[in-house]
Amino acid sequence: MKILVVGGAGYIGSHMVKKLALTGHEVVTLDNLSRGYEDAVKYGEFVHGNLGDKNLLNTLFSKHRFDAVMHFAAFIEVGESVTEPGMYYHNNVCNTQVLLDAMVSHDIEHFVFSSTAAIFGEPQYTPIDEAHPKNPINPYGRSKLMVEQMLEDYDRAYGLKSTCLRYFNAAGADPEGELGERHNPESHLIPLILQAASGRREAISIFGRDYPTDDGTCVRDYVHINDLCDAHSLALEKMQKSGDSARYNLGNGKGFSVQQVIDAVKRIADNEFKVIHAERRAGDPAVLVADSALAKQALGWTPRFEQLETIIETAWQWEITFFSR
Ligand code: UDP
């Protein structure tokens, strides 16, 4: 197939581009490099541009006959979305709508969308399945839910088929060492701890030790980036065969606390580093764990990186090779 990966220069997108290319697909990446890196696009054609640029999309869609579009190009920082909501609604919602309209006018029928656990808001129960109420508590989560809702309307009106994949905590790196996580500034737990372990950062702060969990720190569901990419490929195949839109929650189904992640990094890096006990971060639920039974059953998805240690090991290899170059 010929697939357009929007946001293919980012963390998840770049791993997806690699997977698609290595499984025999023709891939084109569209990315404006606002958060991504051109050198992360190791396969296929790269187009530098904005997903909200209607003329560019028309040119691209006239030049290539795409079978599907995968969309990873969004701003993802919860805190930033609270202080800069306009930026989030503009990029994550308005620009996505321009992309969808261009797809409709060029008869591209299949869309895979990077959604997020943030659409659920404060968990009412755990693990979180697809039926869980959707009450996002920040502009980031709301922007993603708006696109999910827009997609339902576009399916009904224009027959655009979509699969929304709600990631819990994407983690790890390409086991072959070619790609990894490179957010700037970095805000995610695992890369920050790895920076502390490698000496690129002085310390890691634990945001809150008074949560109602076993050790008082927040529990999250870390899912390996390659497992997420597998789910995208399976979801696209399934959607093309069935002709139906779908939504799936993607996680490992196992929760690990911030303290457990820090302890695992200490074991893997065989290193001690400074840990600071900081205040809670606003908007953090105590526990976020996915129920991915539907994805497993409907897509035949089997996460291959089930152990937290294995996930962290891939990210640690990236940290000590890429950043010491
Ligand atoms: N966290 C932390 N210190 C940090 C960064 C994150 O204690 O420097 C915690 C955060 O409060 C959350 C968990 O680690 O409970 C995962 O945060 P991350 O930002 O990686 O992902 P999120 O769960 O917000 O999507």
Instruction: Note the pLDDT of residue 299.
Output: 98
Name which residue leads in pLDDT, 17 or 323: 17
Q: What is the mean pLDDT of residues 82-105?
A: 97
**208-227 tens-digit pLDDT:** 999 999 999 999 999 999 99
Positions of CATH 3.90.25.10 in the chain: 189-221+253-322
Question: What are the catalytic residues?
Answer: 140
Positions of CATH 3.40.50.720 in the chain: 2-171+223-250
Q: Give the rounded percent of residues in the chain with a pLDDT score beyond 90.
A: 95
Q: Which residue's alpha carbon is nearest to atom 6 within ligand 1?
A: 189
Instruction: Note the pLDDT of residue 87.
Output: 97
pLDDT of residue 178 exceeding 70, the answer is yes
**54-63 tens-digit pLDDT:** 999 999 999 9
Report the first-to-last Cα separation within the chain, whole angstroms. 35
Please choose, from the candidates 112, 3, 7, the residue with its C-alpha nearest in 3D space to the C-alpha of residue 49: 7
- pLDDT interval class at 185 (50, 70, 90): confident
How much distance in Å is there from the Cα of 258 to the middle of ligand 1?
7
Please count the CA atoms within 13 angstroms of the CA of 26 that sit on its side-chain side.
6
- pLDDT interval class at 137 (50, 70, 90): very high
CA 245: distance to chain centroid? 19
Does the reported pTM lie above 0.85? yes
Q: DSSP for 174-209?
A: -TTSS-----SS---HHHHHHHHHHTSSSEEEEE-S
CA distance 106 to 71: 17
Sign of the dihedral defined by the CA atoms of residues 192, 193, 195, 200, in that order: positive
Instruction: Note the pLDDT of residue 323.
Output: 81
CA-218 nearest atom, ligand 1: 15
By most ligand atoms within 8 Å of CB, the mutation choice from 114, 189, 219, 274 for ligand 1 is: 189
Q: What is the mean pLDDT of residues 290-315?
A: 97
Average pLDDT, the chain: 96
Instruction: Note the pLDDT of residue 283.
Output: 82
User: So what's the architecture of 2-171+223-250 in CATH?
Assistant: 3-Layer(aba) Sandwich (3.40)
Question: Cβ–Cβ contacts within 10 Å for residue 84, how many?
Answer: 15
φ, ψ at 4 (rounded to 5°): -95, 125
How much distance in Å is there from the Cα of 106 to the middle of ligand 1?
40
Output helix, strand, coil percentages for the chain, rounded to the nearest 5.
40, 20, 40
CA-258 nearest atom, ligand 1: 14
CA distance 265 to 246: 36
**275-285 tens-digit pLDDT:** 999 999 988 89
Give residue ranges with CB within 6 A of ligand 1.
169, 187-189, 192, 204-207, 218, 220, 258, 281, 284
How much distance in Å is there from the Cα of 188 to the middle of ligand 1?
6
131's CB contacts (< 8 A; 6+ apart) are none
CA distance 36 to 9: 5
φ, ψ at 270 (rounded to 5°): 55, 55
pLDDT of residue 162 exceeding 90, the answer is yes
Q: Which residue has the tokens 């050198």?
A: 39
How much distance in Å is there from the Cα of 105 to the middle of ligand 1?
40
By most ligand atoms within 8 Å of CB, the mutation choice from 200, 221, 258 for ligand 1 is: 258
CA distance 37 to 172: 18
**CATH number given to 189-221+253-322:** 3.90.25.10
φ, ψ at 139 (rounded to 5°): -60, -35
CA distance 261 to 47: 37
pLDDT of residue 184 exceeding 90, the answer is no
Instruction: Note the pLDDT of residue 224.
Output: 98
CA-281 nearest atom, ligand 1: 11
How much distance in Å is there from the Cα of 211 to the middle of ligand 1?
13
- pLDDT interval class at 325 (50, 70, 90): low
Q: Which residue's alpha carbon is nearest to atom 19 within ligand 1?
A: 188
By most ligand atoms within 8 Å of CB, the mutation choice from 12, 76, 187, 207 for ligand 1 is: 207
Give the helix/strand (H/E) hosting 151: helix 139-158
**187-206 tens-digit pLDDT:** 999 999 999 999 999 999 99
Question: Cβ–Cβ contacts within 10 Å for residue 133, how many?
Answer: 11
CA-261 nearest atom, ligand 1: 14
CA distance 147 to 141: 10
Question: Cβ–Cβ contacts within 10 Å for residue 157, how many?
Answer: 9
Please choose, from the candidates 288, 265, 179, the residue with its C-alpha nearest in 3D space to the C-alpha of residue 226: 179
The single-letter DSSP state of residue 174 is -
